[in-house]
Structure formats: C-alpha cells, structure tokens
Amino acid sequence: MTTKQLIEQIQKKKTFLCIGLDVDLNKIPQHLLKEEDPIFAFNKAIIDATHHLCVAYKPNTAFYEAYGIKGWKSLEKTIKYLNEKYPEIFTIADAKRGDIGNTSTMYAKAFFEDLAFDSVTVAPYMGKDSVEPFLAFKDKHTIMLALTSNAGAFDFQTKTVDGKELYKQVLETSKTWTNAENLMYVVGATKAEYFADIRKIIPNSFLLVPGVGAQGGNLQDVCKYGMTDNVGLLINSSRGIIYASQNEDFAEAAAKSAEILQQEMKAILE
Amino acid sequence: MTTKQLIEQIQKKKTFLCIGLDVDLNKIPQHLLKEEDPIFAFNKAIIDATHHLCVAYKPNTAFYEAYGIKGWKSLEKTIKYLNEKYPEIFTIADAKRGDIGNTSTMYAKAFFEDLAFDSVTVAPYMGKDSVEPFLAFKDKHTIMLALTSNAGAFDFQTKTVDGKELYKQVLETSKTWTNAENLMYVVGATKAEYFADIRKIIPNSFLLVPGVGAQGGNLQDVCKYGMTDNVGLLINSSRGIIYASQNEDFAEAAAKSAEILQQEMKAILE
C-alpha cells in the first residue's frame, strides 16, 4: 500500500485508529475455545465488527509465537483474511525485528512477501545495514522504534548522545538511509510533550503511537503536538478495544469502544 | 542449563565453539531437497557430525521464519533433536527479540518453555522492562546485543552517551537489573580491541562472539582480550562450517572445518 492510499483511507473513514490484535487465549471469551482456531475466530469477529472504524490492524507477533505452529497458522489466516476481505486496510506486523544485512532481508521477505503485510516494526540498535534491507521493498513500510511507551524507554532512548537524546539521533540518522521515505516511527503516547521536538526532525513521517488508553496516553495531546497536514498519525489501541467485553457480545463491545475513539478522531479531523 | 554445566562442557571437550545453524535452501546440497524436511535433514547431519567439536548450536530464527510454518516445524524438530540426543549441548535461539513487559514474557515462554532453548538473544533498545521478563527464568540465559559485528554497529552503539559509548552504558546499566546473573552479551569478533574495555565492565560474563571467519574476526585476538578464568567466550561460526561443502560430503566437510577451530581453541585452552 502506498502512503497516499493510507491517507485517502483516513480522510474517507474519518479515523486514524489502529487496532492491536494481541490475542491471549486466557482473555478471549471462553465459548470461542471450542472453535477449531479460537485465535482466528476471535480476530475475524473483531475485524468484521470494527473494520469501518479503523484504518489499520496490528498483530503483535509475540502473541502468536507464544502458541508455536498453531499461533503462526492463526497469524497467517488473520493476515490472509484481512488482505482478501478488507484490502484497503493497512496491516502492521509488530515484530520488532532487526539483524545483520542478509538476515534482515530474510525477515523482510517473511513479513512483506510471504505473509503480505504492508509494514513491519523494527529495532534500530544495529543501525543502518540492519534496517535498509527492509526499506528496499517498494510500497512497503518499515516502522522503526524511536521513543517507546514503556518505563525502560528512559534507560537508553532519552540519554544524551553527542549532545542530543538517542531517539533524536536515531530519527536524524535514519533520514539519511537509502529509501528513507519508506520509514515510519514508533513514538509512545505517554510522552506527548516530546512530539513537538520530534516533528522538527521528521515533519511529515507517519508515527505509530501506542499507549493511548490502558497505558495512560492522551489522544488530544498527541494530536496537538504530533499531527501533520496529512494527519501523520496512527493511534494504536489493543486491550481497551479487543477486551472491552469477555462475554458473547465481545465483538459489539469492541466496536463500541473503537467508535468512541473514532468519534474523537473525527471531531479532531473536522 | 547452568553456567557451571556449560563451563564443564568446555573444559571436557576442549572447545568453546558455537555453530550457527543458519539454513538457506539455496545453499544446502541439492540432493537434500528430496527429503520431506530438507532443513531438518541438513541440521541433523551437521549436528551428528560436529557435536563433539562444539558446545553450542545457534539457529538464527530469521532463516526459519523465512519458510513460514514449514520453517517453524524444522526449528521445532531441530531443538527437540538436540535436547533429546545431545542434552549436554547449550542451545541459543538467535531471535533478537524485545518488547514491552508482558509481551517479552510471551517471547520468553515461547523460546524457553515451549521450544526449550537454553538461551535467547535480545535487543536492548527498549530497556530494563523489556529484558527483565527474560531474566526471570531459572537456569535460562538471556544474551543481549552489546556491540555487534556489522557496519551499522557504529551508527549508535559506539556513539558517546553521557561521556561513555552506548554499548558500555548498555553493559553497565544491565548489571543493575534483577537476575542480571542470567545475562550474557553479544560482542562481535571484528572489534577485538574493544574486548579489554568490555572486560573492565563485565569481568566474568559469557560473551557470544560472532564474526570469526567469514566476517574477518581473529580468534587469537578475541581470546587475548576477552577470555576469563572460566573461558567466558562462545565463538560462533556459521557459514564457514555448515557450507564448507555443497556436495554429498557436506557433513564431513563441516566437521573438518569445525575441527580446525576446535584444535585452535584446544591449543589456547592448554
């Protein structure tokens, strides 16, 4: 998917919501455990109920790997279902991968070609030659960790490196990489005050923003400091939406929770 | 496996070699492609031919993920075969994972419990709460990226952070984390001159050292600056061993290549 197509979808649906499909068998409605593939059954119901309220879905691969081969099958089915039934939706493999050159290429092929995700999250620690292999794929997007929403973000990311915080060095350095136009960045909503500085470095890039809701981030603040002319934001919510109810009405409840955020976003966009 | 057991194995076998099982179907002997599971058939032959010359095997998960479900099955079979037939061998899932707390726990369970690896590699960028979930597993080892062997290591890892290179900050900070005794570190052999400084910070920790051979690192130099009383080194070689021959004699050729390194190590240990 091109960035232009993503922006058009945002404008048409009046939402820049991304729904995190972080499926934990201990948290889904227990009647689904009778299904042949409970994870896919859960995802399918959530997707069918919420696809008009969001522009992106983001399965975190850890939740699928935790169930071994079965989990990978559920992930494959989920992305296939999304690509066939809702091809307008932007898909994110939240995998936080990163390795030396050739090995990163293998990860990129796995997520971009075999699974056919539109984007994948990557970690920056190993530098340019660990990320550029992902950037080489046309109309695919590489979403690099910059400033994350967890407490550990302050261990290294905000430390001063040659006169500037590490996450800012990461942003600036990455702009010089080949095919940098295919980069997006993860910036946590829990640090809204940082968005103004970040926009000075990357004025137009899309940011994937976790941390609204359960982790305490505020949508209004993020938009105030982080929004661009082309919106430039994908706000992720996982638990607050997909686990809105643990009963048989879970899909409707998820849609209601998603709609509250979508309505807030609509108001901001207008 | 305990660190003590690993050290005993090193002393008994006179080797601290780790063999990287980075299996690429384009590079393995083509007669194996007729097998039901060519990746496992290749690994099994390599392991049977080399297990007495090394103390550890390290499959890089990217190579398995690249083949989807089939690849994961090959990885499962490989680790099961190792744990059943050669339980004395230290196993490393080279996955370079890292995510926020609960999600890191899911990765840790997948690699330590379900697949039953002795260790997993992780990335440090997200800090303490992304790594501590891995450290919580008894007699399991978390091998954190410190100074990698690729060119991109100089993008961020060697930049000065609050008066000290980032990789040194990573080493020092990680020493304060809960269950830090379960940490090992990745330090590339291509940067042998750094080992002396690294040993000032972590005098006893085991280091997983890629980059000897194909990438240009020198075994003698690494040992000169990096070896401890308990050896403290696992030297990894992948391509130089497993692709020593692409003909039917590939397993014997791998053993010959491994033995050259093992003999060098034996001389150093004596």
Q: Which of A148-157, A185-194, B171-180, B238-247 has the lowest mean pLDDT?
A: A185-194
For A34, counting Cβ atoms within 10 Å of its Cβ (0-12 exposed, 13-18 middle, 19+ buried), the class is exposed
User: Mean pLDDT of all residues in chain B?
Assistant: 95
Confidence of residue B74 (pLDDT cuts 50, 70, 90): very high
Tell me: pLDDT of A222 over 80. Answer: yes
ipTM above threshold 0.85: yes
Confidence of residue A193 (pLDDT cuts 50, 70, 90): confident
For the domain made up of A3-269, give the CATH fold.
Answer: TIM Barrel (3.20.20)
Tell me: pLDDT of B95 over 90. Answer: yes
Mind listing the pLDDT tens digit for each residue in B129-162? 999 999 999 999 999 999 999 999 999 999 998 8
Q: B126 vs A153: CB contact, 8 Å cut-off?
A: yes
Please tell me the predicted confidence (pLDDT) of residue A67.
Answer: 93
Confidence of residue A53 (pLDDT cuts 50, 70, 90): very high
Mean pLDDT for the stretch of residues B82-103: 96
Q: Using an 8 Å CB-CB cutoff, list chain B residues near A27.
A: none
Gap between the Cα atoms of B242 and B41, Å rounded: 13
Buried b (16+ CB within 10 A) or exposed e, A56-67: bbbbbbbbbbbb
Mean pLDDT for the stretch of residues B73-82: 98
Token pair in block for residue A206:
């899309």
Tell me: pLDDT of A157 over 80. Answer: yes
Q: How far is A101 from chain B (nearest CA, A)?
A: 8
Closest CA to B62 of A38, A212, A270, A130: A130
Tell me: pLDDT of B4 over 80. Answer: yes
Q: A123 vs B128: CB contact, 8 Å cut-off?
A: no
Gap between the Cα atoms of A133 and B216, Å rounded: 22
With a CB-CB cutoff of 8 Å, which residues 90-129 of chain A face chain B? 96-101, 103-104, 106-107, 109-110, 114-115, 123-129
Please tell me the predicted confidence (pLDDT) of residue A214.
Answer: 67
Mind listing the pLDDT tens digit for each residue in A19-31? 999 999 999 999 9
Q: Using an 8 Å CB-CB cutoff, list chain B residues near A153.
A: 126-127
Is residue A91 within 8 Å of A118, Cβ to Cβ? Answer: yes
Mean pLDDT for the stretch of residues A88-116: 96
> Mind telling me the catalytic residues of A?
96
- Residue tagged 């995802």 (tokens): A43
Strand A160-161, strand A164-165: pairing = antiparallel
Mind listing the pLDDT tens digit for each residue in B105-128? 999 999 999 999 999 999 999 999
Q: B126 vs A69: CB contact, 8 Å cut-off?
A: no
Please tell me the predicted confidence (pLDDT) of residue A259.
Answer: 98
Confidence of residue B81 (pLDDT cuts 50, 70, 90): very high
Q: Where are the domains of chain A?
A: 3-269
Calculate the CA B162 to chain-centre distance: 30
Considering only the beta carbons, identify the residue of B73, B150, B156 that sits closest to A124. Answer: B156
B224 catalytically annotated = no
A180 membership: H or E segment, kind and range: none
Is residue B117 within 8 Å of B91, Cβ to Cβ? Answer: yes
Dihedral pair phi/psi, residue A23, rounded to 5°: -90, 120
Q: Does B160 touch chain A (CB under 8 A)?
A: yes
Nearest CA in chain B to A60: B103
Please tell me the predicted confidence (pLDDT) of residue B140.
Answer: 98
Alpha helical stretches, state H, chain A:
3-13, 38-50, 61-65, 68-85, 101-108, 128-135, 153-156, 166-174, 195-201, 219-226, 239-242, 250-269
Q: Using an 8 Å CB-CB cutoff, list chain A residues near B152.
A: 100, 126-131
Confidence of residue B214 (pLDDT cuts 50, 70, 90): low
Please tell me the predicted confidence (pLDDT) of residue B64.
Answer: 96
For chains A and B, what is the number of CB pairs under 8 angstroms?
171
Is residue B65 within 8 Å of A106, Cβ to Cβ? Answer: yes
Q: Using an 8 Å CB-CB cutoff, list chain B residues near A101.
A: 150
Please tell me the predicted confidence (pLDDT) of residue B216.
Answer: 73
Please tell me the predicted confidence (pLDDT) of residue A40.
Answer: 98
Q: Does B161 touch chain A (CB under 8 A)?
A: yes
